[in-house]
Structure formats: C-alpha cells, structure tokens
C-alpha cells in the first residue's frame, strides 16, 4: 500500500513538473526584431547628444567669439563693481589686494574686448552687457546684478564671507565659459584671452578657498 502511494505521489509530481515546463516554454514570446532595432537606435541617439548644455559648447567661429565677448564684458564689469565695493568695505587686507588686482587686470581686458568688437564688426555692448541692438550679454548682466545684490547692506566678517562665496562662483563661471575657446573660437586673440582667464582665475579661486578655510568661513 505504501509503495502504491509513493508511486502515485511521484507520478503526480512528474505531471505537475511537465505542466510547468510546458507553460514556461510556450508562454515566453521572443522579442520582436523591430523592438530591438528601436532600442539600439535610441541608445545611439543618446550617445550623439551634446556632452554639455553650456551654450559655448555648441557655438563655433564668429558666433562663439561675439557671444563670448558680450558675456565676458558683462562678467568683467560685474567683477569690477564687486571689487571696487570690496576695497572700501572689507576688513581683510588680503581681500583688498585681490580686489585691486581684479580691477587692474580686468579693466585692461574690458578695453581690449571693446576694441575687438569694433574691429571685427560685432554688436557693441554697453554697460551691464546690454547689446546696443539686442540681447547679447543681457542674461550675464542679470547674473552679475544678482551677485552684487547679495552683498548689499553687509559689513565686517559677514561681508567678507559673502564676498568670497560670490567671487568664487563668479570666477568659476568665467572658467567654465572659457574652457571651450581653445576649440570653438575663431580668433587667436580670444583663445589667448580665455587661456589667461582660466589660468589667473583658477589660481584666485584656490586662494579664496584657502582663505575660507583659514578664516573659518
């Protein structure tokens, strides 16, 4: 009797296993070739997307040079305004010296960029980055005003702390703008300026970050 029961159990299990196997094998449908091709196409398109959404990554030649000058003029003017204020407000000699150097070096670069605008037939931009015929540099000018507003009404250590924070962000923006010039700019003058901006402002970023650590900001 026990043997019959055992055999019956074995038979039932075998039938159940066969039923499960049949269901798995015949219920799984192969992936259509069309779906595979669509997936591969989507992957390929994703690879071809621009590596950066920074507008300078996608500008070339004169378009790059004209936009770079307009934005960098607004950028430099913002640095001058912040630095001139810092020279009068800061309690730190180090910040006063940095601000003085920024005023001296970037004032000269502003004059040079304005000369290039005229020589190369680009739209000339007025104070604040507003184009005389359009919006070149307007967004950048707005960013600079926003940075300056964050310093209004501050004094002493509170001012110095915020100044370093904003000037670091300001310099990082200039470095990001400039990194595409070597490959995308038309004029060698722009490539040289961008290289100088990267070199000088990277060093100043490092110095300001060190002050933040030294002064406990």
If one counts the domains in the chain, the total is 2
Q: How does DSSP assign the chain, residue by residue?
A: -HHHHHHHHHHHHHHHHHHHHHHHHHHPPPPPHHHHHHHHHHHHHHHHS-S---GGGG--HHHHHHHHHHHHHHHHHHHHHHHHHHHHH-S-HHHHHHHHHHHHHHHHHHHHHHHHHHHTTPPPB-GGG-BSSS-TTHHHHHHHHHHHHTTTT--HHHHHHHHHHHHHHHHHHHHHHHTTHHHHBSSHHHHHHHHHHHHHHHHHHHHHHHHHHHTT-
Residues 41, 77, single domain; the answer is no
Residues 60, 121, single domain; the answer is yes
Residues 28, 66, single domain; the answer is no
Residues 130, 206, single domain; the answer is yes
Residues 66-110 have pLDDT tens digits of 999 999 999 999 999 999 999 999 999 999 999 999 999 999 999
Residues 35, 70, single domain; the answer is no
Of the pLDDT bands very low, low, confident and very high (cuts 50, 70, 90), residue 210 is very high
Residues 144-188 have pLDDT tens digits of 788 888 999 899 999 999 999 999 999 999 999 999 999 999 999
Given a cut of 60, whether residue 12 has pLDDT beyond it is no
pLDDT in the model for residue 147:
82
Residues 43, 63, single domain; the answer is no
Residues 27-46 have pLDDT tens digits of 545 545 554 454 444 444 43
């Amino acid at each position: 009797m026990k043997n019959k029961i055992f055999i019956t159990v074995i038979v039932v299990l075998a039938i159940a296993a066969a039923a499960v196997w049949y269901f798995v094998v015949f219920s799984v449908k192969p992936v259509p070739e069309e779906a595979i091709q669509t997936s591969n196409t989507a992957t390929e398109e994703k690879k071809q997307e621009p590596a950066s959404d920074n507008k300078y990554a996608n500008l070339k030649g004169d378009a790059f040079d004209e936009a770079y000058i307009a934005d960098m003029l607004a950028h430099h003017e913002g640095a001058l305004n912040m630095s001139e204020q810092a020279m009068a407000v800061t309690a730190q000699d180090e910040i006063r010296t940095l601000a003085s150097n920024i005023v001296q070096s970037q004032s000269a670069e502003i004059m040079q960029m304005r000369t290039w605008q005229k020589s190369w037939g680009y739209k000339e931009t007025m104070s604040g980055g507003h184009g005389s015929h359009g919006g070149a540099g307007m967004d950048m000018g707005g960013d600079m005003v926003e940075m300056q507003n964050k310093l209004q009404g501050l004094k002493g250590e509170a001012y110095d702390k915020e100044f370093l924070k904003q000037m670091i962000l300001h310099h990082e923006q200039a470095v990001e703008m400039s990194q595409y010039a070597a490959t995308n700019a038309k004029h060698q003058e722009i490539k040289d300026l961008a290289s100088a901006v990267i070199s000088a402002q990277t060093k100043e970023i490092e110095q300001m970050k060190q002050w933040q650590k030294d002064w406990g900001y």
